[in-house]
Amino acid sequence: MATRTNFSMLFLVVSGIVMVMLWVLPAKADGELRETNMTVYFQDYSGGPNASSLPMVGFPGKIWSVTDFGTLLVTDDRMTEGPELTSATIGRGQGISVTGLDGLNAYVSFSIVFTNEAYNGSTIEVQGNSNQFKAVREYGVVSGTGKFRYARGYVTVETISYDRSTYYALLRVNVSVRHY
């Protein structure tokens, strides 16, 4: 009787440990977990003939602008390797932003879509909320595809320059992701 109880106890303890191990060890995808850091640039036009970022909809009868509650902004910026306008295109930054009640905070969701040779067809999915007028905005990386499957991490976005007359803004996007 005593032996049998001890055996049952042992079984429970061992199976408990195995279950905890299975839970703690992350599900392993192809290869080793690695970290990639990169800096890319978004060439953003918030107006003019080649606008790549515009308010699309807002509350009826209210102003539709990035500083007004409820405005939905749609963005599809060319992404370049370097800061210059002539720098090689390596992808696009595509997504939306919805301005919050205070006109400052915005909910942001966008994909970094790569078209360069190294990451062609792969994406990094970004989501977050931040004060859009802060010098450095930080968002979470919630997932990815292709070379960035299982991605987790963060991005920072900084407005390097803005030219009011041409609506041109240069955005620096630093990406730090862990992926397989």
Ligand X SMILES: *[C@@H]1O[C@H](CO)[C@@H](O)[C@H](O)[C@H]1NC(C)=O
Binding site for ligand X (CB under 6 A): 35, 37, 39, 48-50, 116-117, 120-121, 136, 156, 158, 174, 176
8 A C-beta contact, residue 112 and residue 173: yes
CB-nearer residue toward ligand X: 159 or 174: 174
CB-nearer residue toward ligand X: 109 or 176: 176
Q: How far apart (Å, rounded) are the C-alpha atoms in residues 122 and 120?
A: 6
CB-nearer residue toward ligand X: 24 or 135: 135
Q: How far apart (Å, rounded) are the C-alpha atoms in residues 73 and 63?
A: 13
Short-list 25, 47, 39, 120, CA closest to 80? 39
- 118: which residues sit within 8 A by CB, 6+ positions away? 147
- Give, as one character, the DSSP assignment of residue 87: S
In angstroms, what is the C-alpha Rg of the chain?
A: 23
What's the closest the beta carbon of residue 144 comes to ligand X, in angstroms? Answer: 16
CB-nearer residue toward ligand X: 149 or 178: 178
CB-nearer residue toward ligand X: 45 or 110: 45
What's the closest the beta carbon of residue 140 comes to ligand X, in angstroms? Answer: 15
CB-nearer residue toward ligand X: 106 or 155: 155
What's the closest the beta carbon of residue 117 comes to ligand X, in angstroms? Answer: 4
Short-list 180, 176, 112, CA closest to 149? 180
What's the closest the beta carbon of residue 49 comes to ligand X, in angstroms? Answer: 5
Short-list 88, 75, 73, 6, CA closest to 41? 88
What's the closest the beta carbon of residue 92 comes to ligand X, in angstroms? Answer: 13
Question: What is the token pair recorded at 65?
Answer: 């602008």
What's the closest the beta carbon of residue 17 comes to ligand X, in angstroms? Answer: 33
